[in-house]
Amino acid sequence: MSITSPRTLPAALAGGIALHPLHPAFGAEVTGLDLCGPVPLPLLEVLHDALLEHGVLLLRRQAGLPAGLARGLAALEAPLLDQGLHQAAPALPLSIGPVPDAPPPGSAPGPFWHADRSFAAEPALACLVRAEANGGEILFADQRRALALLPDTARARLEALRAEHASPLDRAARAEHPLVRRHPLTGEAALYASPGFATRILNLPAAESRRLLDQAAAAATAEAVTWRHAWRAGDVLVWDNRSMLHTAFGAGGFETLRIEGDVPVAAARDAMPWVVAG
């Protein structure tokens, strides 16, 4: 199944689900779905397609965040990753509970924009969060759009480079990834600078590395590619960690689930996109 762009979202999809745009370029609110009961496979497929297309999904007034939803999405991902990467499907363990990626509150000046676990060899694939109370905000930045808005010369430079990502909580936790990655299922290219975790660009002098990382961070978090959400009790957000950055403000209680991911692959501009049949 193919989901149309946010400007032309259909009024209703399978099982009475409807999608409503959150931002002109990305994000969709899902209505007509109660996560309290089992989510049938056809509806899971609709959600998965919508997640790939829109990057961020919002479901309001949900009484809980079932692990079965994350397991269902992971089960859909595994065979598709196997086809797209032409290698054995990666294991997709499920992390349940707080996700300690960010530094302690107040220790990092300004917004802490990041993709979860980009300091790991296999960063998180998708994240699911439910607010237990009102309060706080979360912002998302679409890295597909951020890359598309870069001048060709800047994009070509970044496509040829790799960066080291390191955890602020454990300096031994580090990995190297391309600054522009290809989505393993859609073939879309996305900026992968993860400002909170990217520490240096490989094989460049320190000053040049810092300058390019600052330029990439500015493009990655520009106002034109960001959307802000104020949490209300019962809100559930699901996002594709391969194409989105996020940062959060304010305290609040949250349920969190995370699907561990795949190895970021560099995006060649002339590469044939992978086609997802659903």
Question: What is the per-residue pLDDT for 102?
Answer: 58
Average pLDDT of span 252-278: 70
Average pLDDT of span 230-245: 96
CATH superfamily label, 6-266: Clavaminate synthase-like (3.60.130.10)
Beta strands (DSSP E) in 216-253 are: 226-230, 236-240, 244-249
Q: Is the pLDDT of residue 53 over 50?
A: yes
Angle at 246 between CA 244 and CA 248, to 5 degrees: 165
Question: What is the per-residue pLDDT for 276?
Answer: 41
- CA torsion 207-211-213-214 (nearest 10°) is 130
Question: What is the per-residue pLDDT for 278?
Answer: 40
- What whole-number distance in Å separates Cα of residue 84 and Cα of residue 90? 12
What confidence tens digit (pLDDT) does each residue in 197-231 have?
Answer: 999 999 999 999 999 999 999 999 999 999 999 99
Q: Is the pLDDT of residue 134 over 60?
A: yes
Question: What is the per-residue pLDDT for 83?
Answer: 60
Percent of the chain with pLDDT over 90: 64
Higher pLDDT, 2 or 87: 87
Residues with Cβ < 8 Å from 5, sequence gap 6 or more? 53
With contact defined as beta carbons under 8 Å apart, do 109 and 270 qualify? no
- What whole-number distance in Å separates Cα of residue 40 and Cα of residue 33? 11
Q: Is the pLDDT of residue 261 over 90?
A: no
Tell me, yes or no, if the pTM score tops 0.75.
yes
Question: What is the per-residue pLDDT for 38?
Answer: 86
Q: Is the pLDDT of residue 112 over 70?
A: yes
For the chain, which residues make up each domain, given as ranges? Answer: 6-266
Question: What is the per-residue pLDDT for 169?
Answer: 83
Question: What is the per-residue pLDDT for 105?
Answer: 53
Question: What is the per-residue pLDDT for 175?
Answer: 96
User: How many Å is the maximal CA-CA distance in the chain?
Assistant: 55
